[in-house]
Copies of this chain bind each other. A is one copy, B any other.
Amino acid sequence: MWVALDAMGGDFAPQATIEGALWAVKEFPELGVYLVGKPEILSPLLKKKSHKRLKIIPASQIVGMDESPIEALRNKPDSSIRKAFELVKAREAKAIVSAGNSGAVLVTALFVLGRLKGVSRPAIATVLPTLKGYAVLIDSGANVDCKPRHLLQFAYMGNVFAERILGYKSPRIGLLSIGEESGKGNTLVKQTHDLLKQSKLNYAGNIEGRDFYQGDVEVIVCDGFVGNVCLKLSEGLAEALMAMMTKEIKKHKLAVLGFTLARPALKKFKRFIDWRERGGAPLLGVNGEVIITHGRSDAKAIKNALRTALGFAKQNITAKIKEALEIETQSQKAQDSER
Is A75 positioned at the interface, with any CB of B under 8 Å from its CB?
no
Q: Which residue from B177, B187, B225, B261 sits with its C-beta under 8 Å from A254?
A: B261
Inter-chain contacts of A208 with B (CB < 8 A):
229, 232, 236
Tell me the minimal C-beta distance from A123 to chain B in angstroms: 14
Inter-chain contacts of A269 with B (CB < 8 A):
241, 244-245, 248
Known: A208-B232, A229-B178, A258-B258. A268 touches B241 (CB 8 A): no
Select from chain B the residue with minimum beta-carbon distance to A258. Answer: B261
Q: B233, A209: Cβ atoms under 8 Å?
A: yes
In the complex, A235→B237 CA distance in Å? 10
Select from chain B the residue with minimum beta-carbon distance to A131. Answer: B240
Is A336 positioned at the interface, with any CB of B under 8 Å from its CB?
no
In the complex, A310→B237 CA distance in Å? 30
Inter-chain contacts of A185 with B (CB < 8 A):
144, 225
Select from chain B the residue with minimum beta-carbon distance to A230. Answer: B233
Q: Which residue from B181, B224, B248, B266 sits with its C-beta under 8 Å from A265?
A: B248
In the complex, A131→B236 CA distance in Å? 11
In the complex, A145→B177 CA distance in Å? 13
Q: B255, A236: Cβ atoms under 8 Å?
A: no
Known: A229-B178, A261-B257, A264-B252. A131 touches B243 (CB 8 A): yes
* Per-position binary interface string of chain A over residues 43-72, scored 1 when its CB falls under 8 Å from any chain B CB and 0 otherwise: 000000000000000000000001010000
* Per-position binary interface string of chain A over residues 213-239, scored 1 when its CB falls under 8 Å from any chain B CB and 0 otherwise: 110000000011110111111111111
Tell me the minimal C-beta distance from A248 to chain B in angstroms: 4
Select from chain B the residue with minimum beta-carbon distance to A236. Answer: B210
**Docked complex: A2-33 residues within 8 A CB-CB of B:** none
Select from chain B the residue with minimum beta-carbon distance to A228. Answer: B178
Inter-chain contacts of A144 with B (CB < 8 A):
178, 185-187
Q: A241, B241: Cβ atoms under 8 Å?
A: yes
Is A168 positioned at the interface, with any CB of B under 8 Å from its CB?
no
Q: B237, A237: Cβ atoms under 8 Å?
A: yes
Main secondary structure of the interface of A (DSSP, over half): helix
Known: A145-B186, A252-B264, A262-B262. A233 touches B233 (CB 8 A): yes
Tell me the minimal C-beta distance from A62 to chain B in angstroms: 18
* Per-position binary interface string of chain A over residues 145-157, scored 1 when its CB falls under 8 Å from any chain B CB and 0 otherwise: 1000000000000
In the complex, A166→B189 CA distance in Å? 34
Tell me the minimal C-beta distance from A272 to chain B in angstroms: 6
Is A74 positioned at the interface, with any CB of B under 8 Å from its CB?
no
Known: A226-B229, A230-B230. A237 touches B212 (CB 8 A): yes
Is A183 positioned at the interface, with any CB of B under 8 Å from its CB?
yes
Q: A234, B237: Cβ atoms under 8 Å?
A: yes
Select from chain B the residue with minimum beta-carbon distance to A189. Answer: B225
Tell me the minimal C-beta distance from A104 to chain B in angstroms: 13
In the complex, A332→B241 CA distance in Å? 41
Q: What are 19 A-B contacts defined by CB distance under 8 Å?
A: A131-B243, A144-B186, A186-B223, A186-B225, A209-B229, A209-B236, A233-B234, A237-B237, A238-B241, A241-B241, A241-B273, A244-B269, A248-B268, A249-B266, A252-B264, A254-B262, A255-B261, A255-B262, A258-B262
9 A-B pairs with the lowest CB-CB distances in the bound complex, closest first: A258-B261, A209-B232, A209-B233, A258-B262, A210-B236, A255-B265, A213-B240, A258-B258, A144-B186
